[in-house]
Amino acid sequence: MIWEVFRQDEPGGYHTHCGNVHAPDREMALLFAEIQHARRKPTNSLWVVPQKEIASQTDETDRFGGTTDKTYRWVSAYNVDVEFAKEIEDSDREQRSVAGDSA
């Protein structure tokens, strides 16, 4: 029987999946998980979960999103290059000075 192992570094943190162990029951699973994932690392808590109790789906059977092009929502759509900032600053200064000349 396979048990998935989740480990928490410190109180309040997330339990993060870190691997699995073969064990006949809960007690042995915890014992093996402790050996493999907790004894030599700072660990606050361990969970073991029977693998068959975990519900899962993948993007092969279900669409999780990204079905239409929404790349404009990504932060990468905004150009944050410092060279551009400089160019905008220069352009702004130039326009102000032209506006000043005509006043």
Does 43 bind other proteins (CB under 8 A)? Our answer is no
Long-range contacts of 93-101 (CB under 8 A, 24+ apart): none
x/- contact string, 23-42, with other proteins (CB under 8 A)? xx--xx--xx-xxx--x---
Instruction: Name residue 8's beta-bridge partners.
Output: 45
Residue 21 sits in the site that holds other proteins (CB under 8 A) = yes
Q: CA 97 to CA 103: how far, in whole Å? A: 10
Q: How far is the CB of 67 from other proteins (least distance, A)?
A: 41
Element (H, E) at 38: none
Q: Which residues would be at the binding site for other proteins (CB under 8 A)?
A: 21-24, 27-28, 31-32, 34-36, 39
